[in-house]
Amino acid sequence: MTFQGQVLLPSQEALVERLHHVASYSDQLLVLVGAHGSGKTTLLTALATDFDESNAALVICPMHADNAEIRRKILVQLVSSPIFDDEISLAETILRVAPKQSKPLHIIIDDAHLLSKELWAECIILNQVQCAGHRIAVTLAVPPEFLADLLPQLPESSRRQILPVSVEPLSLPEREALYQTLLRYSEQNPFTPRDIVRAQLEKQMGTPKEVVTLLELALHGKNEQKSLWIQYKVALIGLASVLITLVIWLGLAKPFSNEPIAEVVIYPAIDSAEFLARGQQILAPYFQQRDASLAQALLDEVANQADPLARFHGEEPTNEGINETSFVNETTLKSAAEQEPSSEVIPEDSPAVLPQKPVDSKAELAPKPKDEVKSVKPTQGYTIQIASVERLDSLRAALAQVEGAQDISVAKHKRRWVVLVGHFDSSKLAHETAAMLVKQYRIDSPWVRKWRELKDYQLQDKLPSDEISE
C-alpha cells in the first residue's frame, strides 16, 4: 500500500485496514497507542488517505494550543461554509451542519495527549453523533503512559466507549526491509556488512525510529567527542580572558584610589511631603522678596502721587505730608472749590484731573491709574481683561503692575473688580496689543473680550477705599 510517495510495511498496512474497519463499523472511540517513534503519524496519515468514501479531517495537535484553535483546525476540513463559532463545542456545531453533509465524517487527531480534558469529553460525545446516516468516527493517537493515566479518571460508561489499539513492534525482516529501502532512497553506500546491520537490528525494540537512527549512524558516523585537552584549552583561554579584563579594569578605573567618592544623593518622590517641604523652603526667600518689592512699589506710588489741586495751579508736587494714606481736610477742599479756574494753559501731555468730591478726613484715597478712567462703557469693539480680583489690595497690585499703560478702565461685576485695558475696533488689533502687554508688563494670559459681553459690568469713576461687599 502506498500513500503520498511512501510505502507501508505489511504489518503497518494490516493495522491501517484494521483501523479502517473499526472506524467504519464500531461505535467506540478509537485510540491508537504507541511509543514515540513507533509510526503513529505514518499510520494516521495513511488512514486519512484511505477514506475515499468519507469526509476525513487530520489534525496534528501542537503544544500549548487552546480549544478554539483545535476546533478551528477540525471544522475547516469538515464544513464547506467557513461561518462557524470555534468557541462552541464540536458536537453542537456539527449537529447544526449535519443535514448538509453527504458523506460520513471521520476526525483523526495525532498527539491527542496534548488535548485538554474538555476536548476529550467533546470527542467522546461526538463519537455518538450520527451524520449522513453513519456515526461520526473519531481516532486519536496517544502514548501508552497517557492512556494508562487517563482511563482511571473516566467513569465506567466512558471507559467502555474507548477502544485502544496498540502499535506492534516491527518484525526483524520488516526492520531489514525498511533499512534497505531507506538506504536505497539515500543513494549512498556506507559499505556496512549486512551481518553487522542485522545484529544491530536484533538489539532494537522494533520501532521505525530506531531503524532510521541506525541508518543515520551508518551514513554519517558518530559525532566525535572533543578531547580532554581541547576542553582544558577552552577553559584556560576563558580564565586568561577574565584575568586580562580584570587587570585592565584595575588600571583604568582605579577602584582603590584615595580620591573621595561622590556621595549618591537620593531625592524623595515628587508627590511626597518631604519634596513639597523642601520646595517651600527653597522658594520661601523668593516669595518674601517679591512681597517686599510689591509692598515697596505700592508705597512709592502713594508717596509719589501729587496733590491734584496743586498740579491744577501749576505747582510742583511735593512729598511733604504724604504717607501710605493721604488725607484732605475740609478747609482745603472748600478753598479749592471756591477758587476760580486758572487761565494757565495746561499742556496736552499732562494727565487730566477729575474733580474730587469732598470726603471725610479719615477716608482712604485709593490710587488711580495715570490715564483717565472711563465711565461710559462702549457697546461695540473689543477690550483686554488683565485682572479679576475681590480684594482692594489685589486691585492696587494689578493696577501697579500695568502702570504706564494707556486707556485703563476698572469695572465692577458682582463681588469682583475687573481691570480692562484699551478699546479696539478689531479682534486682531486687540490680540496684538495683548501680546505687547504680555511682553512689556509680564501679564499672565490677558483675555480679549467683546464690549457687548460685558453688559453686566459697571465701569467705575473712582475706586472705593473699603473692601468689596455685596
Which of 42, 53, 60 has the alpha carbon at shortest distance from 1? 42
Residue 5: which region, alpha, beta or left (left: phi > 0; alpha: psi -120 to 50)? left
Domain assignments of the chain as residue spans, ordered by start: 2-166, 172-220, 382-459
Q: Are the folds of 2-166 and 382-459 the same?
A: no
Domain 2-166 annotated CATH 3.40.50.300: yes
pLDDT of amino acid 108: 93
Amino acid found at 20: H
* Measured CA distances, 323 to 106, 121, 295, 298 (Å): 108, 99, 13, 11
Q: What is the pLDDT of residues 371-414, one digit of tens each?
A: 444 457 788 889 999 888 888 888 888 888 888 788 888 888 88
pLDDT for 394: 86
| pLDDT, tens digit, 9 for 90 and up, residues 52-92 | 677 888 999 998 889 999 998 988 888 877 677 888 888 88
Does domain 382-459 fall under CATH 2.60.40? My reply is no
Taking a C-beta distance cutoff of 8 angstroms, is the pair 190, 218 a contact? yes
Average pLDDT, whole number, for the chain?
A: 77
Give the integer Cα–Cα distance in Å for 86 and 77. Answer: 13
Using a cut of 0.75, tell me whether the model's pTM lies above it. no
CA 281-284-289 angle, 5° bins: 155
Supply the pLDDT for residue 6.
65
The residue count for the chain: 470
Note the pLDDT tens digit of each residue in 199-222.
888 888 888 888 888 888 888 776
